[in-house]
Amino acid sequence: DRSSLIERAVDTLKEKLVEEFVVVLLVCALFLFHIRSAIVILLSLPLGILAAFIVMDAQGINANIMSLG
């Protein structure tokens, strides 16, 4: 049964996404010198990705390595 492997992979992915959000927030805040601008960027990136996945789902395109690459 590979379900435990998949669950660990998903948990690791969640942890890394949170880490990357923090890094992006810090880097943007450092270079922009404005925390609100950094938060706008931090929120717009996942929303753009979500919109892309919604369009892919509407068109019936699977999210595999060939369609994402």
Contact in structure between 24 and 40 (CB atoms under 8 Å): no
Instruction: Specify the 3-state DSSP secondary structure of 69.
Output: coil
> From the DSSP assignment, how many helices (H) and strands (E) are in the chain?
3, 0
Domain residues for the domain of 63 are 3-68
Task: Please give the tally of structural domains in the chain.
Answer: 1
Contact in structure between 42 and 23 (CB atoms under 8 Å): no
* 50: its two tokens: 């979500």
Q: What is the pLDDT of residue 46?
A: 84
> Could you list the pLDDT tens digit for every one of the 69 residues in the chain?
788 888 888 888 889 888 988 888 888 888 888 888 888 888 888 898 889 889 988 998 887 766 665
Residues 6+ apart with CB under 8 A from 26: 38
Whole-prediction pTM: 0.59
Instruction: Specify the 3-state DSSP secondary structure of 60.
Output: coil
